[in-house]
Amino acid sequence: MPCLTWPFYYAKDKCMDEKEAREEIERLRKEIDYHNYRYYILDNPVVTDAEYDRLMRRLVELEEAFSHLVTPDSPTQRVGAKPLAAFGTIPHTQPMLSLNNAFTAEEAVEFDARIKRSLKTGPDEKIEYAAEPKLDGLAIELIYEDGVFTKGSTRGDGYVGEDVTLNLRTVRSIPLRLKHDTVKPPRYIEVRGEVFLPLESFRKLNREKEAKGEAPFANPRNAAAGSIRQLDPRITALRPLDIFCYGLGTVEGRQFKTHFETLELIKAVGLKVNPFARAVRGIDEVLKYHDEMEEKRESLNYELDGVVLKVNSIELQNKLGVITRSPRWALAYKFAPKQEATRVREIFVGVGRTGALTPVAVLDPVSVGGVTIERATLHNEDEVERKDVRPGDYVVVQRAGDVIPEIAYVLKDKRPEGKELERFRMPGNCPECGSMTEKIGAIHFCTGGLLCPAQLKESIRHFASTRAMDIEGLGGMHVEQFVNSGLLRDVADIYYLKDSELLKLERWAKKSVDNLLDAIERSKRPALERLIYALGIRGVGEHMARVLAGEFGDIDALAKATEEELMSTYEIGPETARSIADFFMERHNIGVLKKLEEAGVVFPKKEKKAGKLAGKVFLFTGTLKSFTRDEAKDIVEAAGGEAAGGVSKKVDYVVSGEEPGSKSQKARAMGLKIIDEEEFKKLIGK
């Protein structure tokens, strides 16, 4: 039973049991909720900030001691002591997908050709696209129910976003109630948009920060994101943020033929749409639109980094579908990145979590698009040779997609005459552990595995990271210290750390040790997908971890799966299947899993939803009369079934609508059960 000291105005010391803690937590939550209402909604507080802070600190203390009593609607999950954990979360009913990028006209032309091949149209067919400026801001989702703004969230990981409702309420261009002059708003509607800070406001904000002796924001996007993710909505309210809306998520009672129809509805109910959005026919008009917006880029009062293209027809969008996290029917066609020249001081080789060796150029510091660049990845040896980058070279640096620093090309005319610069060569031995390296494809790998300290450190950092086991306080410097001191030899050793060992290390006091051990203890009950992701299996990112958790349900079943069983799972190809199977055949990895379990880490099971369709997998192809494809998928999942994105042996029913695509042919060839829409309606009881 946790024993707590009451440091605040309650003036009593005692050990609490769970019943007492639950009662006080409930009382504190009600009191804090009341004060939040008085402060944020009525703007009429009845307690001082100091009194409010004491209540909040007390609630935080209790929830840390009784972590299983924390609920998503607790005030600590929305406004609290630190970013991220202080916000609640809101799941997206439809994923907020990321877009594939094109950086050249050739890549945009290939995108158009790929669309035509997928749709089996002639090469001369002109596809109609919805073209919109691509703002460099923060993607958000607004939820309106009965015309009233009820919730707002960030994109997050695409599936779950941070609850920033109170902050979004302060953005004046976001109406709290939708207009209904010309059209009645849907009862429920999810609107997606990009929040940004106008350039004039950005410059003014930075001048004010510099006058106060504070560090200025690097760019408008950072300023917008930082403003929306403030813990205090009053700070957000002082920032003149704006928004352009670009699409919809779930909408009740409305169907649309084109993307532009969705934009028209967004405008009709009182939300802002970028005035430069328009429909264009064919790739020639796409290229012309891109060039036009790039010319306008410098004259606008907001940052653009490209244009977004979407196949305008919703029917064609459904036929084209999605690949993992990106729709096949949309593209971000980026502008030429901002570039600057600088000098390469040296090239060193870094070793990643999977043993991949990556050459990295150390540069004379240079500012590119408001960000100081000191290092740039060179990806692999082939890339270094292709660009012929050598230590001492003057190079042009750009931020790929205006984000990732990279070397665009070498300024060879600046090479010193009469002095040959030494060419870079990948080492035959790992620079960290001396093990032999091997080249697989274009990448060199260290063969030392977790005997290599660099791989060990990176695997532990990954395991403890926020999106994996979320062990707060176990950052890069601490991992370095623990590995070097011999306390951590694998990820499972984290759960065997003792306060007596940690207190002997530099910069560790009792409070910091207690906080770390508490965080380690809290991490022992992860979601299954987080645990799978944390293991660091090559090729298994967050999305793939979610796929594996949903398909296999627990670690034991995943560990026993054969390559053939893995490959029969939608989205898992041969390389990933081999990587997963190899991971669980490695004795060291099985030993680590056993150590984790013995340390008390719970290996969760992901139960499938109960319902009349429980355990059944449906695949939809063609156009349905009674439902959109998304509505049909929602019905299946609500009844406990699963909706697949592609043909596999796991599919129980292929629902074939009008004009079915190639999926129907593949399904017939595989002998899968194919039903029509009427049979599907009987299965779901409609």
**Count of CB atoms within 10 A of residue 515's CB?**
13
CB-based contact 147:185 (threshold 8 Å): yes
- Beta pairing class for 437-440 and 322-323: unpaired
CB-based contact 308:327 (threshold 8 Å): no
Separation CA 296–CA 5 (nearest Å) = 62
The torsion angles phi and psi of 564, rounded to 5 degrees, stand at -65, -45
At position 283, the amino acid (one-letter code) is: I
The CA-CA-CA angle for residues 206, 209, 212, to 5°, reads 150
- What would the two tokens of residue 268 be? 């009709």
Residues with active-site annotation: 134
| Three-state secondary structure string covering 243-298 | EEEEEEEEECCCCCCEHHHHHHHHHHCCCCCCCCCEEEEHHHHHHHHHHHHHHHHH
Residue with tokens 């509505």: 631
84 by Cβ neighbours in 10 Å (0-12 / 13-18 / 19+) ranks as: exposed
Separation CA 64–CA 48 (nearest Å) = 25
**In whole angstroms, how far apart are CA 257 and each of 260, 574, 628?**
9, 38, 11
Separation CA 668–CA 656 (nearest Å) = 11
**In whole angstroms, how far apart are CA 659 and each of 119, 622, 625, 662?**
12, 5, 12, 10
CB-based contact 234:41 (threshold 8 Å): no
* Helix, strand and coil in the chain, % to nearest 5: 40, 20, 40
385 by Cβ neighbours in 10 Å (0-12 / 13-18 / 19+) ranks as: middle
11: Cα separation from own chain's centroid? 45
